[in-house]
Every structure is written in structure tokens, then in C-alpha cells.
Amino acid sequence: MLEPACQADVVIVGAGVAGLSAAQRLNSAGLSTVVLEAAPHVGGRMATEKIDGFRLDRVGRLLFTSYPELRLTPGLDALVLRPFAAGVLVHAEGRVHRAGEPASAGGARGALDAARAFVSPPRRLRQLPSAAEPVSRAYPPLGGALDQARLSAALGGIAAVPVERLLARPERPAGRALAARGMPARTVEGFLRPLLAALLCDPDLATSSRCADLTLRAFASGRLCLPEGGADALPELLAGALPPGTVRTGVRATAVSTTSVTTAEHGELRCRAVLVATGARAAAELLPGLRVPPCHPVTVVHHTSDEPPTTDAALLLDADRRGPVAHTAVVSQVDPSRAPAGRALISSTVLGVPPADTDRAVRAHLAALYGTATDRWELLAVRHTSDAVPAMLPPHDLRRPVRLLDGLYVCGDHRDTSTVQGALHSGRRAARALLKDLGAARPALPAPPLPTPTAA
């Protein structure tokens, strides 16, 4: 039974995907849980803005169908993924090429493999077709036949390597490891470097080579995809599957202990354990002494046009680095629900510090990348996040401790890999540690009301 003064077994601070994934597991195991979220909505960095019929993600949009936690996290049964076209398009040496398609993409074998991937246990993910696939034959492949065969074999090889073996490889900055891979310079500079920079949000590729290998493995064994309806579909599903009243938005935690959380709005909540599930910087404010990794800044720029460029629902990477855009896509071709009828949504990502006149510089670069005039495109939003993605510099610990003390736990992408997969996985690890300490005894109780607000 709860102590009389306890408002919940566990209070979780932060309703990003890490905190919500932990809440799902704790609740399923019978522990009563309250999730406090400072913002007026759930999702954290996975937030989506709705403006004039458009759904604009604050974040880059690069999930993989191969992320295991998308299938393992309870509450995501209704998640629908919209895949990009297989492989990517790369703007290299002044023109667009296709690259990185699996050898079987588009054929009957590819369709069969994709179908198998989604009926494998423990749960099927719903994957809807995108507008066009595979990447249009209109674009020439990157490199000659030998280059393509070597790349295809390398991607096939990394998809087959067990994760433990990848993690046992020597660790160094990814940029240096790439140079030593024995791949042709055109493949490295024209495909691997821009792909990894985009996926890791790290233009300098200072990231640990082990994390880069994991990312390449996810690319080679799955498809880039978007949650249908916006990035926030994922946290909304997780929050919606919790008992009513579990998630309290607009409540900021100001202090935590092993048995209580103090909030700015509702005074103190007593509990048996506390899980801090905020980003790294906010976690260190609540838990002094916690290391804050350096973070990669990311800017996402959204434009609309009534004459979309034709890229066949592919992700377009920039390898030439003659402008600020690292990657871009006509997102509404991948997921039509993100734009009103007759309009296209083009979302582009700038890594690092954005240029002073971001819209002008991005628009000029997009004109070169898509090979079309962009002056009539309308700017919808520019969203900059300075602490977007924790850097995973070598040596990177992929399993940073989630149990700090008996009663005090921490999760979030900064404890694992700096991805949605890492955030969900850290939530799972934290829930496991909590369940071990507290035990899972009885059916979950409905969440109790918060104490009466204190005077401002």
C-alpha cells in the first residue's frame, strides 16, 4: 500500500518519450505513476506545431523502421510509420544521385523482406506506403558499378553484424574511422559522410565510431520513416495509453529527493521513488553533479509551395557543402497528412550555428539542391534548438547508469544514444531498475489529484 502521505509510487519529471516510455512500463507493472511536464504539451523535443493545416516538427524527422524500441515499447500499437523512398538522394559534384538502396529494393524480394520485417515478433508496426518508391530511376547512381557493388556489400555486411560485435570494435571519431574503411573517396565523401552527418546531427563527425556504426546498421537494416501526422504522434500515443490524470502538463519540478518532488505550481508531491526524465541540462539542475554533455545545435526550416519539387519521397542529402542545408525532403510526399490539399511541405535541416539570414541562405541553397526556383516558396517556420542532440564523443558509454540512489533514477537520450531509440531504451532501463527496487505488486491505481496550487 502507498504510505498515507504518498501521492504515487513513482513521480516522473518530464513527459518526453523517455519519461512516457518508463511510465508505460511502471504502470503496466502495477505501480501508480504521475508524470509532471513543465510545458503545456507532452513530447519534449518530439513536439509538432499545427499551423494553418500544416504539421511542423521541431525535430529532424529521421526515425528508422528498424529501431527495436518502436516495436517493444507498450502503448505504440497504433503507431503508423510513413517510410521515405528506399536509399537516399545525394547532391554531389553539382548533381543529384541516388545511393544506399538495398540491393533488392523495389523488387518482389524487397517487398517480401519489408513485409517480413514488420510481422516479426513481438509486435507488428503499421507501415503505409509513401508516394513513390523506390528512388526514381531518373537519377543516376553514385559512382560506377564497382563502387555501387562495394557499397551494397558493405551495407549488407553491417546489417548482418550483431550489435555486440559492433560495440567491440575500436572506438575513435567517426570521421577518422570512415577514412580508414577502404571505401572509394567518392563513396565516403558523396554518401557516407553526408548520411552520417545528417543522422547524427554532427557535421564534423566527431561522434564515436561505434555510435556511427550503430546508425549505419539501422540504415542498412530498416527504412527511414516519419510517424504519420507528426513527430508528436509517438509521445501522444504513449501518453494516451496511460490512465487518465497520469500526465500533468504545465507543472515544473524545482527540486527532487528520493521520496519527493517539489513543484513551482503545486508544492511538494510525496512518493516512493523519483525518475528524472528531462533533457541533460535540466536533469543536471535537479541532480547537481550529473555530467552535461556538449550538445549539437539544430535548426529546422519549413517552407511551402504549390509546385513541389520532384524527389519521389526521398531524403535529399547535400554532399557538396556549398550552403547551410544538410538534408531536406518534401515531407508531404512522404506523409500527405502534414500539409493541406494542394500544398507541399518542404522541411530542411541546418546543422551547427545557422547563418544570420537563415531563410535567405536556406532558400538559395534549396534552389541549387532541388534545381528549381524557390523565391515564391513561402516560409512557414524556422525552429532553432541549441541543445538539440547530446554529442556522443568517444569514449561514449551507451549505457550510462540510470539508478543514482535507491529511490532516485534518471533517464533520457543523454543516458543512452542521442536518438528516439536511445530515449525509449533509457526509459525501459530506468523502469527495470525501479521495478527491481520497488517490486511490482498490484494493479495500477488511478492517479490521485494534485495538491491545491500554492500561492504564486
Shortest Å distance, C-beta 22 to ligand FAD: 9
Let me know: does 224 contact 84? Beta carbons within 8 Å. Answer: yes
Q: Is 179 exposed, middle or buried (0-12, 13-18, 19+ CB in 10 A)?
A: middle
Smallest gap from residue 107 Cβ to ligand FAD (A): 28
Q: Scanning residues 44 to 73, which ones bind ligand FAD (CB under 6 A)? A: 44-46, 58-60, 62-63
Q: Residue 251 CB, nearest distance to ligand FAD (Å)?
A: 6
Under the binding rule (CB under 6 A), the answer on residue 214 touching ligand FAD is no
Q: Quote the least distance from Cβ 300 to ligand FAD, whole Å.
A: 6
224 is an interface residue for ligand FAD by CB under 6 A: no
Q: Which is nearer to ligand FAD, 298 or 444 (CB)?
A: 298
Q: To the nearest whole angstrom, how small is the minimum distance from the Cβ of residue 313 to ligand FAD?
A: 17
Supply φ then ψ for residue 287, to 5 degrees: -125, 75
Q: At closest approach, how far in Å is the CB of 454 from ligand FAD?
A: 16
Closer to ligand FAD at the Cβ: 45 or 217? 45
CB of 110 to ligand FAD, least distance (A): 24
- Tell me the C-alpha distance between 337 and 195, whole Å: 26
Which of 11, 12, 13, 85 binds ligand FAD (CB under 6 A)? It is: 13
Nearest approach in angstroms of CB 425 to ligand FAD is: 10
CA proximity to 85, closest of 110, 119, 55, 108: 110
Name the strand (E) or helix (H) holding 420. helix 420-438
Total interface residues for ligand FAD by CB under 6 A? 37
Provide the b/e sequence for 405-427 (b: ≥16 CB within 10 Å).
eebbbbbbbbbbbbbbbbbbbbb
How many CB atoms are closer than 10 A to CB 12? 34
Residues 134 and 230: their CA atoms lie apart, in Å, by: 23
With CB under 6 A as the contact rule, which of the stretches 14-22, 136-144, 175-183, 302-310 interacts with ligand FAD?
Answer: 14-22
| CA dihedral for 56, 63, 318, 279, sign (positive or negative) | positive
Distance CA 261, CA 273 (A): 9
What value, to the nearest 5°, has the Cα angle with vertex 131 and ends 129 and 137? 110
Residue 14 engages ligand FAD in binding (rule: CB under 6 A): yes
Which of 8, 12, 16, 102 touches ligand FAD (CB under 6 A)? 16
Within 401-420, the residues that bind ligand FAD by CB under 6 A are 412-413, 418-420
Give the H/E segment covering residue 348: strand 344-351
- Distance in angstroms (rounded) separating the CA atoms of residues 456 and 171: 51
Site map (CB under 6 A) of ligand FAD, residues 248-277, x = contact: ----xx-----------------------x
Site of interaction with ligand FAD (CB under 6 A): 13-19, 36-39, 44-46, 58-60, 62-63, 201, 252-253, 277-279, 282, 298, 300, 385, 388-389, 412-413, 418-420, 423
